[in-house]
Amino acid sequence: MTAVDQIQVLKSNATGAGFLQALKDKWVRYSVYRKTLNELSELSGRDLADLGLNRSNLRSAAYAAAYGDQ
């Protein structure tokens, strides 16, 4: 019975580590999204036009940069 208990403890620890890693990954992607959005927001209309963007699609461009085209 002790072996089964140890296996379940190891399994729950691995799940906890996976949860923390997933949480960290989400935070990193969100940080990339916010940083990209802030940097794009600081550009002039002319600079945005050079990039093929306008103010109305900055959020979608930042989302694509952080999370990929989904």
Specify whether the CB–CB gap between 37 and 62 falls below 8 A. Answer: yes
Task: Answer whether 0.85 is exceeded by the pTM.
Answer: no
For tokens 């900055």, name the residue. Answer: 58
Q: What are phi and psi of 4, to 5 degrees?
A: -65, -40
Is residue 12 scored above 60 in pLDDT? no
Give me the chain's average pLDDT, please.
86
All structural domains of the chain with their residue ranges: 25-70
Rounded CA-CA distance 63/13 in Å is 32
Report the alpha-carbon distance of residue 40 to residue 49 in Å, rounded.
11
Question: Looking at the predicted structure, is the pLDDT value of residue 2 above 60?
Answer: no
Q: How far apart are CA 15 and CA 1, in angstroms?
A: 21
